[in-house]
Amino acid sequence: MVSASIRKNHYETLITSGYKKMIVDEPLDKGGKDLGMSPMELLSSALASCVAITLRMYADQKSWPLDQVFIEVFIDAKAHAIEKEIALVGDLSAEQIQRLKEIADKCPVNKMLSNANTINTKVSWKKL
């Protein structure tokens, strides 16, 4: 579980998951203080890191010579489009590269984002 809380500091948000904490904020040009990644940057980083980890795990299981992976994720929120670019470093065959491309689409975050998802919302209220 991840939780978020915000007070009146535009738009500094505290994110917690267990004992881990981080600040999410909007950039200066959107009224924030740029104290942390924006929500879209977090979404992009979730996808990029999931793809990188998935490729690393797969290459390790196969004992493939994958030395390094670079992932760049671009989100166009208006077009509801996500693009990812993957750069692989290592002495890989064409077949291995093709398979890693296929595996990149199988990471859990990629699968969740590429499928139509339902988000259920519950709201509670209390007066201070």
3-state secondary structure of 105: coil
Percentage with pLDDT > 70 across the chain: 100
Determine the pLDDT at residue 120: 87
Q: Is the pTM of this model over 0.85?
A: yes
Helices and strands, counts by H and E, the chain = 3, 5
Buried b (16+ CB within 10 A) or exposed e, 65-85: ebeebebebebeeeeeebebe
The pLDDT score that the predictor gives to residue 19 is 97
* Residue spans per domain, the chain: 1-36, 39-114
**Cα 12 from Cα 5, distance rounded (Å):** 9
> What are the start-end ranges of the E strands in 1-128?
3-6, 13-17, 20-24, 66-76, 81-90
Tell me the mean pLDDT in the region 84-103.
97
Q: According to the model, what pLDDT value does residue 127 have? A: 87
CA distance 124 to 126: 7
Please state which architecture CATH assigns to domain 39-114: 2-Layer Sandwich (3.30)
Mean pLDDT of 31-52: 96
Q: Which run of H or E residues covers position 47?
A: helix 39-62
Nearest Cα residue to 39 out of 70, 21, 13, 7: 13
Residue-wise pLDDT tens digits, 49-91: 999 999 999 999 999 999 999 999 999 988 888 999 999 999 9
pLDDT attached to residue 115: 87
Q: Give the pLDDT mean for 105-113.
A: 94
Which pair of tokens denotes residue 108? 């859990």
pLDDT of residue 90: 97
Choose between 91 and 124: higher pLDDT: 91
